[in-house]
Structure 1
Amino acid sequence: MATPNLDALKRDGFVVVRNLLTPDEITHYRTIATEATTKTRTGSWPHFRTVPKQFPPWPSTPPPASEGGIWGVQHLMHPDMPGREAFAKCYFSPTILAVAEELMGVKPDTNGDNEPLVMELFNLLVAPETKDFELRWHRDDVPETATAEEEIQQLAAKSPGGRQSHAQYNLALCPDASLIVVPGSHRRARTDAERNAHPYEGNMPDQLVVELQPGDAVFYDSNILHRGVYRHKPASGEETRLTLHGSLGLKADDAGDAEKKKVRATAVLQHGVGAWVYREEAAFGLGERPEKMRANLVAMGTGEGVGFSLQG
């Protein structure tokens, strides 16, 4: 069976899937994403990512627009988020799930007895206000303090053979050239140049800017060496970046590595999704599969005491 997306992910650490959404879907999701962003910018939604902080936990009060404001909206599928039904339809769409299944090497359970996928995160990345914002070079859950030997060990454990236990993606609703990666870096330790580079180095050797058009998605190994560059939106202008940022996980074998389970639980639950996903009103009404995936997330825990993957 041909697996072009998985082949690209193994080789490069990322794969761009073009035209994942139809023109009508792009228009629809852009409208509700703009509404969610406006609600968050004006202080009516309490879950966000704030400039200049890169990793959770984020402040509970957004900084003023003059200081950059927000660069992300969290918890699009929260029971209290307006438009959450439409966001959920996107997240659980057969098109996206099919790509995720290929990348994780699983097939849907046609009998419905053992759902292999775990609902994880669905957030929104947006343009900051008044000031550009940059993320430093990083891997999502391998600390920058790791030695070359530790990097190799951790990368091999987290994505054996180049295949991950989760699929992470950016799905663009506006033209997006924010993600910068170093192809192939997900399979090796950092070079001396990478290890000694400035955290915001703008000309890293072999770096590549991933360019997306509305409806395109990039799925990437979360431990590829990467960073983000977010250009600020024009004052009082339309939103210039609306990118759906999601992840789906692979249900862990009960007999599997406890440390690997803990690492993934931290990566997901550090964002606070465990605080609401178990609620009765968090059900989606979209059939059995989304509920089984939600139940798999509930089984991971509430997030209390798991800590944070990275600092800053």
Structure 2
Amino acid sequence: MAVKPDTPYLDALRRDGFVKIPQLLSPQLLLAMRAACKYTTERAREGKWPYIRTVPKQYPPWHEWQEGDNIWGVQHLLHPDMNVRDTFAELYFSDEVLSVVKELVGLKDDPAGDDKLVMELFNLLVSPAKNTDFELRWHRDDIRPEVTEEQEAKQLQEKSPQGQQLHAQYNIALFDDASLIVIPGSHRRIRTDIERNAAPYEPSLPDQLVVELQAGDAVFYDSNILHRGIYRGINAKESLGRMTLHGSVGLAGHGNERARQVLQHAVGKWVDRAQFQIEGPRGERAEAMRTRLLAMGRGEDVGYSLDG
């Protein structure tokens, strides 16, 4: 009898649509990430980093920074012009993150697993300043809300064939975080009548769950689980607020299926000049993953997954 692989993270992801991993970051790595993200967020709020997500817009495309913008995210942490990018790259390409990724995309026991990973996105989610709260609508990342039940079922199957995701997506909290709200199990079924007819910002749907993370915890989740986010505003002069790293890593061989979801964020415009200054095996891994992203193209005319 064949022995079932020991894949607790993948089992949880397939069952619930998300898996929480306590203390993914060591205390030392957590401190380093906090320092880099505090510096990066301050620069972005001051207009010294143009690639941002602005209130009240939820989905790309986002404009570059303009006077008066209130941001809820910082884009492109691996961009060649990001002056602390090597700090971010050390985490993005780390064993801590990629060992989980490989299990979730079916590569846990594959000795050539590194050769099948694709660099995708690495961004930062932050609290809006000016004490302005901001909420995301209920959504799936790559399935439009207006699709019919038949289309929804078909797309859910196509995007996770045989229950297998073509990428791994995650949030890593640098401070305690209770922003992500999910409906467990919704990644494997069409919406119920209540979910389909709910208001975009409905505060209470059946079975919804707030994913509570402590500093250093991570949650990996199926991008087509029904979910939303709530961002509590802060006075940026008095508080750091939320700082949560938001990333994804792809599985090679599925470029067409993933191209729009990744390249709509404009990463294809700079990845060709984004070689990393990391030495040793981790540096080789980083360059190979970057090259696989480069092969997906620059992203002209790929369109956008969602509107708004």
TM-score (normalised: structure 2): 0.94
Q: Structure 1 unaligned segments of length 5 or more: list them.
A: 254-260
Matched residue pairs, number?
300
Matching residue's letter, 1:282: Q
**Residue 149 in 1 paired to residue 150 in 2?**
yes
1:27 is displaced (CA, Å) by 1.1
- Determine the structure 1 residue equivalent to 2:16: 12
Query: Separation in 2 of the partners of 1:98 and 1:60?
Result: 34
CA deviation vs aligned residue, 1:45-73 (integer Å, no higher than 9, x gap): 010000000000012234626xxx00000
1:235 is displaced (CA, Å) by 4.4
Query: Separation in 1 of the partners of 2:240 and 2:81?
Result: 23
- Determine the structure 2 residue equivalent to 1:277: 271
Query: Separation in 1 of the partners of 2:240 and 2:232?
Result: 11
Q: How does 1:61-210 map to 2 (within 5 A)?
A: 61-62=65-66, 64=68, 69-107=70-108, 110=111, 115-130=115-130, 131-210=132-211
RMSD over aligned Cα atoms: 1.5
Partners of 1:63 and 1:70 within 8 A in 2: no
- Determine the structure 2 residue equivalent to 1:264: 258
- Determine the structure 1 residue equivalent to 2:303: 307
Match of 2:60 among 41, 45, 56: 56
Matched position secondary structure for 2:271:
coil
Query: Separation in 2 of the partners of 1:20 and 1:211?
Result: 14
1:23 is displaced (CA, Å) by 1.1
TM-score (normalised: structure 1): 0.93
Partners of 1:51 and 1:63 within 8 A in 2: no
**Residue 291 in 1 paired to residue 287 in 2?**
yes
Query: Separation in 2 of the partners of 1:118 and 1:18?
Result: 25
Structure 1 range deviating more: 75-84 or 38-47: 75-84
Change (3 A) 1:235 1:119: closer
Matched position secondary structure for 1:278:
helix
1:285 is displaced (CA, Å) by 2.7
Change (3 A) 1:292 1:239: same
1:252 is displaced (CA, Å) by 1.0
1:109 is displaced (CA, Å) by 6.5
Matched position secondary structure for 2:272:
coil
Matching residue's letter, 1:135: L
**Residue 251 in 1 paired to residue 255 in 2?**
no
Matched position secondary structure for 2:20:
strand
1:32 is displaced (CA, Å) by 0.7
Query: Separation in 2 of the partners of 1:251 and 1:263?
Result: 11
Matched position secondary structure for 2:44:
helix
1:19 is displaced (CA, Å) by 0.5
1:238 is displaced (CA, Å) by 2.6
Partners of 1:108 and 1:115 within 8 A in 2: no
Matching residue's letter, 2:275: A
Matched position secondary structure for 1:295:
helix
1:234 is displaced (CA, Å) by 2.5
Q: Structure 2 unaligned segments of length 5 or more: list them.
A: none
Using the aligned pairs only, state the percent identity: 59
Matching residue's letter, 1:125: L
**Residue 228 in 1 paired to residue 229 in 2?**
yes
Partners of 1:172 and 1:212 within 8 A in 2: yes
1:124 is displaced (CA, Å) by 0.2
Partners of 2:173 and 2:243 within 8 A in 1: yes
Partners of 1:9 and 1:162 within 8 A in 2: no
Matched position secondary structure for 1:249:
strand
Query: Separation in 2 of the partners of 1:209 and 1:202?
Result: 11
1:262 is displaced (CA, Å) by 2.8
Matching residue's letter, 2:291: A
- Determine the structure 2 residue equivalent to 1:39: 43
Matching residue's letter, 1:285: I
Matching residue's letter, 1:39: R
Partners of 1:11 and 1:184 within 8 A in 2: yes
Query: Separation in 2 of the partners of 1:274 and 1:226?
Result: 27
Matching residue's letter, 2:105: M
